A and B are shown apart, each in its own frame.
Chain A
Amino acid sequence: MKEKRTVRCGALNYGKAAAALALCTLLALALQQLGAHTENCLMIYLLGTIIIILETGGYLFGMGFAAVCMLVFNFLFTDPRLSFKVSDPNLLLTMGIFLVVSLLTAVLVTRLQQQERLARDLARRTQALFEISSGYLNLSGVDNIVYYGLRSLYSARGDRCVAYVASPSAGLSKPYYIAAQFDDPADLEGEALPGWCLVNATPCGAGTAFYGESHWLYLPIRSSGRVLGVLGVFCGGGQAGDEQMLFVRTVLSQMGLALERELGSGEKAKNSDVSSAGAPA
């Protein structure tokens, strides 16, 4: 699916480049017919190059386009016409400057687009975190809290996760996961690593110093110094990126707070039952 999309994007970029080249050439020919100077015709190609860089978002593609434009300009607009020879050395200088300007513009535009993409991603992540946090304020029930976290991580970033809650008697609870996210049940590992993580209160798995060959990354769910459970993030053979980790840890802290609140209120209720049972008549 990703391959198909990449091929389609590639074909679309080539299509845009072809259309831009055709339009620039037509316009330059028309302007030349009206008496415009040759250098002005080159400016049309520069405009086309900038637009292609904006559209394709890659400076290599833009530079390739600039090179093709330069060749077409040389072929159609410089003496001797319809050949790649150049009789006027000044035009060589002009074309050289054209390439340099194209390169600089490509670099600047690409950086600007990257920054814009980062800013947008940041805004989106912040919005997602805000919504997740707001959702936790009104949730009750351990199951609800855990499943909400799993669904949020999947919908925000596509992260497939499994969670375990610390059980007072037997270490770990049953695994919490959303079956629809796992086509292959073999992706789910056993409880050895999550148990280790819970006992040692230390992350382990993919990208860590402990059991780094695992396909999963396990993180303790903490709150007020206590480890309330373990969250496993499926990395599929790779490593979790810094942005991913930041997002997951933020959600994890919210999950931890909600779990502490839930487990704490459960204990309070138990204690108040015990004290009322033991009170003198």
Chain B
Amino acid sequence: MCECFSCRQAEGWRLILGYFGVILMLLGGIILLPLLVLPAYPDEGGQAVFFILPGCGAVLGGYLLALLIRGRPRGRLRKHQDAVIVVGAWLLAITLCAIPFLLTGNYNFTQAVFECTSGWSTTGLSVVEVEAAPRIFLMYRSVMLFFGGVGLVLVMLSVLSDSYGMRLYSAEGHADRLLPNLASSARTILAIYAGYILAGTVLYSIFGMDWFDALNHSIAALSTGGFSTRAASIGYYDSPAIELVTVLLMLLGCTNFLAHLYLIRGRLKNFFGYCEVRFCLFATAFVSPLLAGLLLTGGLSDTLPRALRDGLFQTVSALTTTGFQSIPGFAGFPGAALLVLILLQLIGGGTGSTAGGIKQFRIYILYKDLIWTLRDKFSHRRVVHDDAIRRPDGLQQVGTRTRGEVAGFVLLYLAVFALGSFILSCYGYPLAESMFEFSSALGTVGLSAGITAFDAPAGVLWTETAGMLLGRLEIYVVLLAAVRAAGDLKNGAAALAGQLKGRMRR
């Protein structure tokens, strides 16, 4: 193979397009999945065409693209082209999955893309009137939550055993490898996920939900997505049992997949020793009564038991970035309570889980960094400390480089948060509500103060869309992909211009 710069670049892009082909085929299958609901709701048969056309088209288009890499030597991915694949795959998923919404004629492009971004990023903010929407579309949203929570790359890797698998897996933000073989890891995660969803569906059905609502809420809770089939969310059922099941599923959903493996294998010491699990339980135990108190004093809950119930539920919903609601709304919420929820939304769930936010792991490292810094100030300068934190598989050393990276990420995250809140407030919304709404979008939470709606301005929806995508892909991947793609385009254009000049001279 020619090793000149242009040929190497072309090889890298052939590989990228080939991967996009595989992803397109998977997306086609995902778009067709909601059709399985039709036997239960045959009166919605007319909606099937909105899924069949894009689904089959995606499968065919993907098959043709995938021919670029079938039966040929793979070539090499150049630096950061893995980030291009990950971001490109997500953009492809969002754009393609928006087509069924567009075909109905009820949603414009902005609304369709917003809804799909919310689904794939497991946010849960919605422009859909759920009480009037066809069930096939409600199931479609849940399907997007399921695959978005697990991760598009992981889904691809479970079927495609590949030498670039680990790079793509890491680029999507998965830090843990459950098993030595990546395809086995992917299948194990999917199996764990599916098992919990099945258990959740059964529990919900026992406590009074019909099977359709039970399945959708189970998926939404475990994926920490929060799409409900009811306008009032979980509050519609007014059932402590259902709320308890939801709390359990949300906590499971925001827990690292590796920790799940230890839990399932009965290694409870490793599970409960994990810093994120301890942080999550502590935060829940500490913040729930605080929020309950604020709800009680603010007149939003009538009695203490009710306030505690709502406090626990909303704390877990915000911290795990799920976004289910047990209360009517957040308009008129006391400022202190809004601030608590904003902080929880910014903190987010566990790394290597379906949750969003800054991640509890990073917050824990920042907290420990503060402790270690204070300790160093008071101890002799010749004393050497071995700073580590506990993960499910043992202690992990935390050096200054890691601490610096975490601090840098948090700073960048907060900068994006400030920018997004500013943009929303420019549309005339109060600052507190703008901050609440954008922290919900950026942290892929889904709680809404009322700004996100069917008739929200396009600028608001696009700002939140960008926030959801940046939050899901943890910002850096998007930046790397943009820089790489821009660089390749520039070099490609320069190479093409050079070739054209050469031909004209001849």
User: Taking beta carbons and an 8 Å cutoff, which residues of A are in contact with B?
Assistant: 23, 26-27, 29-31, 33-34, 47, 51
Q: Are A30 and B53 in contact (CB under 8 A)?
A: yes
- Find out whether the CB atom of B56 lies under 8 angstroms from the CB atom of A26: yes
Given the known A-B contacts A23-B56, A27-B56, are A33 and B63 also in contact in the complex, defined by CB atoms under 8 Å? no
Collect the chain B residues with CB atoms within 8 Å of residue A33's CB.
49
What residues on B are CB-neighbors of A51 within 8 Å? 63
Contacts of A31 in B (CB 8 A): 53
Chain A contacts for B32, CB-based, 8 A? 23, 26
Asked if A30 contacts B63 (CB within 8 A), the reply is: no
Q: Report chain B residues within 8 Å CB of A34.
A: 49
Cα distance A51–B63 when bound, in Å?
Answer: 9
Chain B minimum-CB-distance residue to A20: B59
Summed over the interface, the residue pairs from A and B with CB atoms below 8 Å come to a total of 23
Ranked nearest first, the 8 interchain pairs of A and B with the lowest CB-CB distance are: A30-B52, A27-B56, A30-B49, A26-B52, A23-B56, A33-B49, A30-B53, A27-B52
Complex contacts, B48 vs chain A, CB 8 Å: 26, 30
CB distance from B403 to the nearest CB of A (A): 50
- Please, which residues of chain B bring their CB within 8 A of the CB of A47? 60
Question: Residues of B contacting A30 with CB < 8 Å?
Answer: 48-49, 52-53, 56
1/0 contact trace for B60-91 toward A, CB 8 Å?
10010000000000000000000000000000
Chain B residue with minimal CB distance to A55?
A: B63
Partner of A29 from B52, B55, B63 at Cβ < 8 Å:
B52
Which residue of chain A has its CB nearest to the CB of B56?
A27
| 23 A-B pairs whose Cβ atoms sit less than 8 Å apart in the complex | A23-B32, A23-B56, A23-B59, A26-B32, A26-B35, A26-B48, A26-B52, A26-B55, A26-B56, A27-B52, A27-B53, A27-B56, A29-B52, A30-B48, A30-B49, A30-B52, A30-B53, A30-B56, A31-B53, A33-B49, A34-B49, A47-B60, A51-B63
**Chain B residues near A29 (CB-CB < 8 A):** 52
CA distance A30 to B35 in the complex (A): 12
Nearest neighbor of B59 in chain A, beta-carbon distance? A23
List the B side residues contacting A27 at CB < 8 Å.
Answer: 52-53, 56
Min distance, Cβ A31 to any Cβ of chain B, angstroms:
8
**Which residues from chain B contact A26 at a C-beta distance below 8 Å?**
32, 35, 48, 52, 55-56
Chain B residues whose C-beta falls within 8 Å of the C-beta of A23 in the assembled complex:
32, 56, 59
* A34 vs B35: C-alpha distance when bound (angstroms): 18
Interface residues of B toward A: which range?
10 to 19
The contact string, 1 if C-beta is below 8 Å from chain A, for chain B 30-52, is 00100100000000000011001
| Inter-chain pairs besides A26-B48, A30-B53, 9 sampled, C-beta below 8 Å | A23-B32, A26-B35, A26-B52, A29-B52, A30-B48, A30-B49, A30-B56, A33-B49, A47-B60
Measured in the bound complex, the distance between the Cα atoms of B56 and A34 in whole Å is 15
Kindly provide the distance from the CB of A47 to the nearest chain B CB, expressed in whole angstroms: 8
CB distance from A50 to the nearest CB of B (A): 11
- A26–B49 alpha-carbon span in the complex (Å): 9
A44 to chain B, nearest CB (A): 9
The interface residues of chain A lying within 8 Å CB-to-CB of B55 are 26
The minimal Cβ–Cβ distance linking B47 to chain A, given in whole angstroms, is 11
Residues of A within 8 A of B35 (CB): 26
Q: Would you give the shortest CB distance from A68 to chain B, in whole angstroms?
A: 18
In the complex, what distance in Å separates the CA atom of A204 from the CA atom of B59? 56
Bound CA–CA A30/B57 (angstroms):
12
Q: Mark B1-45, 1 if CB is under 8 A from A, else 0.
A: 000000000000000000000000000000010010000000000
- CA A105 – CA B48 in complex, angstroms? 32
* A27–B35 alpha-carbon span in the complex (Å): 13
A252 to B53: give the CA distance in the assembly, Å.
Answer: 60
Closest A residue, CB atoms, query B45: A33
Distance between A25 CB and nearest chain B CB, rounded to angstroms? 10
Chain A positions within 8 Å of B56 at CB level: 23, 26-27, 30
Question: Closest approach, in angstroms, between the C-beta of B61 and any C-beta of chain A?
Answer: 12
Name the residue on A nearest B60 (C-beta).
A47
Cα A29 to Cα B60 with chains together (Å): 16
Q: Nearest-CB distance from A131 to chain B (Å)? A: 16
**B49 nearest in chain A by CB position:** A30
Q: Which residues of chain A are near B63, meaning CB under 8 Å?
A: 51
Q: How far is the CA of A40 from the CA of B49 in the complex (A)?
A: 16
Q: A residues within 8 A CB of B49?
A: 30, 33-34
> In the complex, how many angstroms separate the beta carbon of B192 from the nearest chain A beta carbon?
26
Q: Within the assembled complex, what's the spacing in Å between the Cα atoms of A189 and B48?
A: 69
Complex Cα spacing A47 to B55, Å: 16
Most buried by B among A33, A34, A47: A33
Q: Whole-angstrom distance between the alpha carbons of A21 and B55 in the complex?
A: 14
Q: Quote the shortest CB–CB distance from A6 to chain B (angstroms).
A: 20
Please give me the residue from chain B that is nearest to A27 by CB atom.
B56
Distance in angstroms from A113 CB to nearest chain B CB is 10
Q: How far, in Å, is A216 (CB) from chain B's closest CB?
A: 36
